[in-house]
Amino acid sequence: MDPTISGAARVPRHLAPVPEGGGPVCTLARKLDGFAPLTVQDRAALEGLTGYVRSVERHAVLVEQECVAEHALIVFAGFASRFKRRLSGRRQILAYLIPGDLCDRGALHRYPLDHAIEALTDCRIAKVPRPAYVDLLGRHPRIALALQRARLAEEATAREWIANMGMRSGPERTAHLLCELLERLGSIGQVSDGQFDLPLTQGDLADTLGLSSVHVNRVLQVLRRDGLISLRGSCLRILEPQRLRQLAEFEAGYL
């Protein structure tokens, strides 16, 4: 991987078309192709990662804090998270990992993680052993470049989450998060007519937004009352995307 790639090298993302019958590998390839166009050989190499995919139950901890990961983790289905937990048990969710997201921190450079990784829902996760992952990057520089650019977007997203927590009200924070999920899930073909699956509990959202579960419930009621969203079970629809973006002052450029 070229260590000279910087934030200035990040290019506008394009969306690769979704091939007929596209499955989990298509989701991963589509995301990476948005950062650096992939070759047929690159896609075939990603297809080979399906052999590492396993089902993971909700709340399973994939990597403990302070542990050195021996595998790169790729989310093929479901929602996972990076989080920190206090001795009291209180949790702060630092990032969502959705289908197509890859976590190689620790696995690539063999250093302990300063956070833990947990499945928020039932997931399909590929645990790619370090030797196989390093070999993949060495043989496929376009994949390595796409992953490096994806990490730049992750870092920008982390900064945006900090700003969200520090500068916005409860409704604004929630609106910003929903706008971000609309963009991220849309980029991998998992949004239809403003509707997507949000299989998270109000407790998960509270631990993400720095609010109580009661406050999250009130905020969602406000957004529904104002005609911005509808929420039935885990099915969320953005009814007024432009108004929701205005409320959050959301700009998608960091993604």
> CATH number for the 168-254 domain, one of 3.30.1360.170, 1.10.940.10, 3.40.50.720, 1.10.10.10?
1.10.10.10
The angle subtended at Cα 234 by Cα 152 and Cα 82, nearest 5°, is: 30
Q: How far is CA 191 from CA 23, 127, 145, 173, 241, in A?
A: 15, 26, 27, 21, 13
pLDDT for res 27: 84
What does the alpha-carbon distance between residue 222 and residue 13 come to, in Å, rounded to a whole number?
Answer: 33
- pTM here is 0.86
8 Å CB contact between 179 and 250: yes
8 Å CB contact between 145 and 102: no
Read out DSSP for 87-103? Answer: TTS-EEEEEEE-TT-EE
In CATH, the architecture of 18-152 is: Sandwich (2.60)
Domain with CATH 2.60.120.10 in the chain: 18-152
Tens digits of pLDDT across the chain (255 residues): 333 333 333 334 444 444 444 455 678 888 899 899 999 999 999 999 989 999 999 999 998 888 888 899 999 999 999 999 888 878 999 999 999 999 887 777 777 888 999 999 999 999 999 999 999 999 999 999 999 999 999 999 999 999 999 999 999 999 999 999 999 999 888 999 999 999 999 999 999 999 999 999 999 999 999 999 999 989 999 999 999 999 999 999 998
pLDDT for res 112: 82
Domain with CATH 1.10.10.10 in the chain: 168-254
